[in-house]
Structure 1
Amino acid sequence: MIIKLALNPIAFDLGPIQVHWYGIFIASAVILAVYLSVREGNKRGIKADNIYDMLLWALPFSIISARLYYVAFQWSYYQNHLDEIIRIWDGGIAIYGSLIGAAIVIILFCRSRLIPVWLMLDVISPTVLLAQGIGRWGNFMNQEAFGQITSLAFLQHLHLPQFIINQMYIGGAYRQPTFLYESLWSFLGVAVILSLRHVPHFFKRGEVFLMYVLWYSFGRFFVEGMRTDSLMIGSIRVSQWLSIVLFVVAIGLIIYRRRKYPDASWYLDGAKRILQ
């Protein structure tokens, strides 16, 4: 059996600068997410400038927090390799860390601009899920976020394209394509949420975002259990436990807010005026 070489994680060179496929996928995901968020924001009463301004703050903080989150749980390695902490182009950023950092910035930004926080989260959350699904293909190019050892026959049974099968040959063995499982789960979630988001009297304000949290945390729990590169605290997979917490909290918030605020605005009501 001949094993073909893995795909090159370097897309091209710009003089001394190497452009990684990882960065291309992440950048493309962000651009698409912003474009779709602006379109939806205009319909819901949020001006494009507010989304652009928010991005200028949220994007760098989300990248920094994603890296810090990852480094914190891998400190036993990075304490002896401090020069590698900034090498995010080689991978090693945590989605949950990114989401935590971005959420903090979004809350502070919206309060400073008098924009309804829940409405902003509703507008952007499906596009964030889409970006996460696209970003996983950056992991694919870096041969990371993979699962346990499996067989060639199993991968062929999934009817995967040959280039994916080749790329899943890592460390002398074929691996479960967990990056693909999470990516497809994210894309499916986007389709489900977007199909429901514009159904009249279905989502209260804030529930599109909470649906996103439910969907992603549920899928991530199972995918994380198949991965071999999980961030750990002892024998505990951090992302699995965080997924459980987020799932329970999201359900609790939906129930609480429905009972506490039965007259709360529907998502489709948007803002009462265009928020400058």
Structure 2
Amino acid sequence: MHLQGAWRLINARRPRCIALCECNAPTLFRQPLRNGSPSRSGCAYRVYVPEGVLVMNPVIFELGPFSLHWYGVFIVGGAVLAAWVSSLYARRAGENPDHIWNLLAWTLIAGIIGARLYHVFSSPADGLGWAYYREHPEDIFNFWNGGFRGLGIYGGLAGGILAVAIYSWRNRLNPVRYLDFIAPNVLIAQAIGRLGNFANQELYGPPTNLPWAFHINPAYPCQVPDGAPLYPQVCGMPNLTEETLNWYASHGFHPTFFYEALWNLALFGILTLIYWRLGDRLRRGDGVLLYFIAYPLGRFWVEMFRPDAWRIGSLATAQWIALGCILVSVALLILRHRNWSWRDHPGETLFAPRPPEPPVQAETASAAG
């Protein structure tokens, strides 16, 4: 097992050569600098790194062909925390919280599959998009080599909802009820998961001089115009020259993943407060609708800082989806509450206990005689 250095603070008062092999760079870059002889450190380029740049290695450790990535740890950790809070809601409503923990595995697996398929089919034809996966279908679910990269949140949400529906049908549960328990807590999972974008050096915005600008590892700028990080076998693009690497080293970028994480944390706090204060007045299903109104609002704004996003017309694909979610959810919320009151229908509120099932009457046969 090879344990990677998780954090590295680059302090370059003088030009420093970055060994790309230390940063999980493709072997294509491990080539001599001059005259056909490799440098002492095995570097491919000389990179001028700004002083005090904090670099996080995306890989925690490697064991043979298997590698554990920080992105995967953040995704699973966020999902576990979300499940714990959701189980508290289930217990408050008189439901069995074990169903939430059973759903954790279902939704996590289905969510990752859905998120991956969304990325594969919604990416542009150039770069690491559909054209690439059409020629390399073996990389569609290549998690063991690329880690949890190339995931789309809307596909993950669709996969998670489908998993809840199937599990609820198999166990005779109300799927909307359990989606209500889960919906606001998806936000805390998303916020934690966005830390994986920092580890992967991806999903950043345009250059900026703001104090909170995100400085990426110049030896790992694997983001192409479609916004997707490249896998090692295609990361060594011809245009990734010494000049390109030095340009990355001298610029800061909008940390769009951090913007979205802050938005998700704020929404998690607001929806949690609404649940605990007004949960007995919300109609069943309102929690899901509130999520699909609040989260897409922030995502729509964040996409404005993503010039590399795939666009349809003047808006990014994610912005069109966000608009659709907002409009449909607002319309449903209004229609559902037009002639409904929690005072008149207390059994339909979010935390209303499940009505008791009718007792099973045992059939007794009378003895003839």
Tell me which interval the TM-score lies in, with the shorter structure as reference length: 0.7 to 0.9
Equivalent residues of 2:184, 2:268 under 8 A apart: yes
Q: In structure 1, how many angstroms separate the alpha carbons of the residues matched to 2:190 and 2:153? A: 8
Q: In structure 2, how many angstroms separate the alpha carbons of the residues matched to 1:49 and 1:92? A: 31
SS at match of 2:194: helix
SS at match of 1:6: strand
Aligned: 1:177 with 2:177: no
Residue of structure 2 equivalent to 1:42: 91
Aligned: 1:125 with 2:204: no
Tell me the CA shift for residue 199 of structure 1: 1.8
Higher mean C-alpha deviation, range 6-15 or range 183-192: 6-15
Equivalent residues of 1:221, 1:240 under 8 A apart: yes
Count residues in correspondence: 265
Residue of structure 2 equivalent to 1:268: 351
Equivalent residues of 1:168, 1:174 under 8 A apart: no
In the superposition, the TM-score normalised over structure 2's length comes to 0.66
SS at match of 2:62: strand
Gaps of 5+ in 1: none
Residue of structure 2 equivalent to 1:245: 324
Residue of structure 1 equivalent to 2:142: 87
Equivalent residues of 2:215, 2:253 under 8 A apart: no
One-letter amino acid matched to 1:223: V
The higher-RCO structure (CA 8 Å, 6+ apart) is: 1
When residues 111 and 90 of structure 1 are mapped into structure 2, their CA distance, relative to the original with a 3 A threshold, is closer
RMSD (Å) for aligned C-alpha atoms = 2.3
Residue of structure 1 equivalent to 2:292: 213
Residue of structure 1 equivalent to 2:104: 55
Alignment of 1:98-109 (within 5 A): 98-109=156-167
Tell me the CA shift for residue 230 of structure 1: 2.1
Aligned: 1:76 with 2:131: yes
Gaps of 5+ in 2: 1-12, 14-48, 123-128, 222-244, 358-369
Match of 1:224 among 303, 315, 334: 303
When residues 90 and 104 of structure 1 are mapped into structure 2, their CA distance, relative to the original with a 3 A threshold, is closer
SS at match of 2:173: coil
Match of 1:139 among 197, 204, 209: 197
Percent of residue pairs bearing the same amino acid type: 34
Tell me the CA shift for residue 108 of structure 1: 2.8
SS at match of 1:11: strand
Q: In structure 1, how many angstroms separate the alpha carbons of the residues matched to 2:260 and 2:110? A: 24
Equivalent residues of 1:70, 1:231 under 8 A apart: no
Q: In structure 1, how many angstroms separate the alpha carbons of the residues matched to 2:351 and 2:121? A: 40
Equivalent residues of 2:56, 2:199 under 8 A apart: yes
Equivalent residues of 1:119, 1:270 under 8 A apart: no
Equivalent residues of 1:221, 1:239 under 8 A apart: yes
Aligned: 1:21 with 2:74: no
Q: In structure 1, how many angstroms separate the alpha carbons of the residues matched to 2:266 and 2:200? A: 24
Equivalent residues of 1:33, 1:124 under 8 A apart: yes
Equivalent residues of 1:90, 1:142 under 8 A apart: no
Equivalent residues of 1:168, 1:176 under 8 A apart: no
